[in-house]
Homo-oligomer: A and B are copies of this chain.
Amino acid sequence: MIDKKVANVEEAIMDIKDGDTLMLGGFGLCGIPENCIAAIVQKRIKNLICISNNAGVDDFGIGLMLHQKQVKKMISSYVGENAEFERQLLSGELDVELIPQGTLAFRCMAAGYGMPAIYTPAGIGTEVAIGKEIRNFNGKDYLLENAFDANFAIVKAWKGDTAGNLIFKATSRNFNSVMAMAGKITIAEVEELVEPGVLDPNQIHTPGVYVHRIFQGSHYEKRIEKKTITV
């Protein structure tokens, strides 16, 4: 097997530099790559373009990067729940491109599947369609949307092996597995890193060929955005 293991988060992110485009997995705060985000914050890498469904909250997730003004542009489907984000956006410090959530997912998948672009009906008749190519198939209009082209995809998995195979838990899979396929370099942090042969080949969500670096993360906080319980 080809060994993808790196020693730690510092080694994993060593060549991320100012101005890079990063995909960051997660939905809300669920399944976000906490260790990599912390290391990027600590390294103060600047002018990043971040492709991520959300932008974290004020003091967690991508919010930590925003707080340090490390992000030049966000490409997301939903960026609520973040006052600092709003301030930077209104002041012009931050650029944001809002795209439909499915389009976000498909543009990742297209990159991982070698498709240069895909057709989606999402956004037809709305401002999302402005300037984009529209094509009718079988009586229905679709937008042509290009595959993403990101320097790095940074994802968080539940289990992984040193061959780079990943397994995600419950809804923390979300964008993690589609982004894992889509980075020029894919970095995976996992809660549990095992030797090849431990994980069932039948249950792998992301085959190791898509993953370039893997390390065992630590101190996962897994903050819950909206804890809702049945009394």
Which residues from chain A sit less than 8 Å from chain B, CB to CB? Answer: 106, 113-121, 137-138, 140, 142, 146, 167-170, 201-203
Question: Is B202 a contact of A170 with CB atoms below 8 Å?
Answer: yes
Secondary structure type dominating chain A contacts: mixed
| Minimum CB–CB distance for A42 against chain B, Å | 32
In the assembled complex, which residues on chain B have CB atoms less than 8 Å from the CB atom of A169? 202
Say how many copies of this protein the assembly contains. Answer: 2
Question: Is A137 a contact of B118 with CB atoms below 8 Å?
Answer: no
In the assembled complex, which residues on chain B have CB atoms less than 8 Å from the CB atom of A168? 202
In the assembled complex, which residues on chain B have CB atoms less than 8 Å from the CB atom of A201? 170
Q: How far is the CA of A167 from the CA of B203 in the complex (A)?
A: 9
Give me 7 A-to-B residue pairs in the complex whose CB atoms sit less than 8 angstroms apart, sorted by A's number. A106-B113, A116-B138, A116-B142, A117-B119, A118-B118, A137-B146, A170-B201
Question: Is A118 a contact of B115 with CB atoms below 8 Å?
Answer: yes
Name the CB-closest residue of B to A158: B202
Q: How far is the CA of A169 from the CA of B202 in the complex (A)?
A: 7
In the assembled complex, which residues on chain B have CB atoms less than 8 Å from the CB atom of A106? 113, 115
In the assembled complex, which residues on chain B have CB atoms less than 8 Å from the CB atom of A116? 119, 137-138, 140, 142
Name the CB-closest residue of B to A118: B115
Name the CB-closest residue of B to A173: B202
In the assembled complex, which residues on chain B have CB atoms less than 8 Å from the CB atom of A113? 106
In the assembled complex, which residues on chain B have CB atoms less than 8 Å from the CB atom of A119? 115-117
In the assembled complex, which residues on chain B have CB atoms less than 8 Å from the CB atom of A170? 201-202
Name the CB-closest residue of B to A203: B203
Question: Is A114 a contact of B118 with CB atoms below 8 Å?
Answer: no
In the assembled complex, which residues on chain B have CB atoms less than 8 Å from the CB atom of A114? 121
Q: How far is the CA of A142 from the CA of B117 in the complex (A)?
A: 10
| Minimum CB–CB distance for A117 against chain B, Å | 6
